[in-house]
Amino acid sequence: MLRKIGRLFVIKTRWEAYLIIYALALGAMTRGVHYTLEYPGFGGYLLWAATAGAVFLGGAKILDAIRYEEEKRAAESVESAAQQ
């Protein structure tokens, strides 16, 4: 039962990855706006840019991981077909 629940939290497709990256970006930009209000001037904008950069890095990592998992799955299916 826990395995079934755990599968709900696994990103399986690029579409799901894009939705998660969008949610991360939305939260990061909201946090960035709060940073510019809390720290007016260059420091606030620098923190805002850091939150945007974190989303870029995290999004790239998520998309790379999805691509890696798809390639791994395809290679395993080819190997299993070759063994049979």
The residues spanned by each domain of the chain are: 13-83
Tally of CB atoms within 10 A around 74: 10
pLDDT at 63: 95
Place 76 in a pLDDT band, splitting at 50, 70 and 90: confident
- The model's pTM is 0.79
Across the range 53-73, mean pLDDT stands at 93
With 80 as the cut, is the pLDDT of residue 29 above it?
Answer: yes
Main-chain phi, psi angles of 27, to 5 degrees: -65, -40
- pLDDT over threshold 90, residue 59: yes
Residue 11 banded pLDDT, cuts 50, 70, 90? confident
Confidence check: pLDDT of 16 > 90: yes
Contact 36, 45 (CB under 8 A): yes
